[in-house]
Structure 1
Amino acid sequence: MSAEQRLADRRERLMSAAYTLYASLGFAATTIERLCAEARISNRAFYECFGSREELLQAVHSRCMEESLAVVSQALQEASDEGIDQQIRAGIEAYMAFATSDRRRARILHLEVRRSGHVLTNARQRGVEAFAQLIEDTMKDTAPSPRINPHLLALALIGAIQELLIEWVVNDPPPPVEQLAEVAVHIFHRAYLPAGDPA
């Protein structure tokens, strides 16, 4: 491999190691030495890829967020001709399924993002804003009330989904994902379709 390919390979191995260790041991308990042992690289090679454990965590979190946004955006697009109530369901079910399809992803996005302190504060905020904008764009023609700020409503709904997924992460056995999705759909319907359940 070329020097660039070796660097890319080491970076991916570190990303994979962090994905596992940050989600199992937690960010605070995961040392650079442990990451390097898991990735089978030297400590020196670590610093050729990332400046710190914090930078590596930010890279892992950003990848999880980008993948999640892509999955939800695709689901919303595919349901765009089926009515707003079906778009709500499609988007929520897509996110819930993707987040829980790999427990490591769910832990990083909804548990370690809080436990890591200030490390992911800005990254988390960017992710929340991106999802809030996606909700606002999707629901722009469905205003529950002129008194309700649409951005604040989107943020509140994101918070509800986050709490549902934390419940899934920290419990053994976890509540069924289908139940989480139904609760989230119910909340969204009540927020945007207050006249009653969609047909």
Structure 2
Amino acid sequence: MPPSMADRRLYRGSSAEERKAQRREQFIEAAIRVYGAQGYRHATVKAVCEAAGLTERYFYESFSNSEELLVASFQAVKDFLFGELEKAGAGSPGDALERTRTVLQAYYELLQGHPQSARVFLVEISGVSPAVDRALVAALEAFGELLSRTITPRTRGGAADDPLLRAGVVGGVLHIGLSWISSGYTRPIHEVVGAALRVCLVLNPGVVKPGRGGGV
């Protein structure tokens, strides 16, 4: 039986929505490349459209302005990054200390392996507008929660639940990454991870078992 007119409209509508969603993803991927290469403040809508291979008409179909695209790009990077970190932690067979080390190793490897995404996550999102800052604050809080869950998987409370300490730890982990990137990745990654791990121990100092000789 041929589809009804209503069915055909539904199919056409679904197809149109799928195409719109695909174009939106093209813009986000293009924005990450453009912002990562030349910076958000030096990028134009035209440059992003050219990188996406789409016209400005399609840009405004999905985004009201460049800030909205910046937030969407940041969210895409954040979702990918945090997803990879969750997988790294879940796949680590060690104790809480070793899981945290594994997560940090994955984090810095991702920053090094995806420099354009790293710039969007660490640099371009900061200080654009209050709306963009809210997206950043929410992401940093989520990062703090992820690190806290990793280093204190069973016993919560105390330092691990202190939002100020978590914010300080996240700031330290991020700034270690920024310093490493700015240096051209001159320090070996295990040294970078070791420095960040010592910062994370603020959340759970007791995770270092006697007999480690103070080392992490």
TM-score by length of 1: 0.85
Which stretch has the larger CA shift, 50-59 or 9-18? 9-18
- 1:3 equivalent to 2:20? Answer no
- 1:197 equivalent to 2:175? Answer no
In structure 2, distance between residues paired with 1:132 and 1:186:
15
Asked whether the 8 Å contact 1:61–1:109 carries over to 2, the reply is yes
* Structure of greater Rg: 2
Match of 1:104 in 2: 116
* Residues 190 and 25 (structure 1), Cα distance of their counterparts in 2 relative to 1, 3 Å cut: same
1:88-167 to structure 2, matched below 5 A, reads 88-114=100-126, 116-138=128-150, 139=152, 141=154, 150-167=162-179
Unaligned residue ranges in structure 1 (runs of 5+): none
Asked whether the 8 Å contact 1:58–1:120 carries over to 2, the reply is yes
SS in 2 for 1:51: coil
Deviation at 1:122, TM superposition (A): 0.7
Deviation at 1:108, TM superposition (A): 0.8
In structure 1, distance between residues paired with 2:51 and 2:215:
50
Please tell me the residue identity of whatever aligns with 1:47.
Answer: Y
Please tell me the residue identity of whatever aligns with 1:91.
Answer: V
Deviation at 1:132, TM superposition (A): 1.5
In structure 1, distance between residues paired with 2:131 and 2:174:
19
* Residues 127 and 185 (structure 1), Cα distance of their counterparts in 2 relative to 1, 3 Å cut: same
Please tell me the residue identity of whatever aligns with 1:131.
Answer: F
Deviation at 1:146, TM superposition (A): 5.3
Asked whether the 8 Å contact 2:35–2:120 carries over to 1, the reply is yes
* Residues 115 and 27 (structure 1), Cα distance of their counterparts in 2 relative to 1, 3 Å cut: farther
Asked whether the 8 Å contact 2:160–2:166 carries over to 1, the reply is no
Match of 2:55 in 1: 42
1:54-69 to structure 2, matched below 5 A, reads 54-69=67-82
Asked whether the 8 Å contact 1:168–1:175 carries over to 2, the reply is yes
Unaligned residue ranges in structure 2 (runs of 5+): 1-11
* Residues 156 and 19 (structure 1), Cα distance of their counterparts in 2 relative to 1, 3 Å cut: same
Please tell me the residue identity of whatever aligns with 2:77.
Answer: C
Asked whether the 8 Å contact 2:30–2:51 carries over to 1, the reply is yes
Please tell me the root mean square deviation across aligned C-alpha atoms, in Å: 2.7
For residues 17-36 of structure 1, give each alpha carbon's deviation from its aligned partner in whole angstroms, at most 9, with x where no partner exists: 10111112111111111111
Q: How many residues align?
A: 197
SS in 1 for 2:125: helix
Deviation at 1:116, TM superposition (A): 3.1
Asked whether the 8 Å contact 1:64–1:105 carries over to 2, the reply is yes
Asked whether the 8 Å contact 1:85–1:198 carries over to 2, the reply is no
SS in 2 for 1:28: helix
Asked whether the 8 Å contact 1:136–1:151 carries over to 2, the reply is no
* Residues 142 and 197 (structure 1), Cα distance of their counterparts in 2 relative to 1, 3 Å cut: farther
TM-score by length of 2: 0.79
Deviation at 1:51, TM superposition (A): 1.3
* Residues 190 and 137 (structure 1), Cα distance of their counterparts in 2 relative to 1, 3 Å cut: closer
Identity of aligned residues (%): 23
* Residues 100 and 147 (structure 1), Cα distance of their counterparts in 2 relative to 1, 3 Å cut: closer
In structure 2, distance between residues paired with 1:56 and 1:27:
10
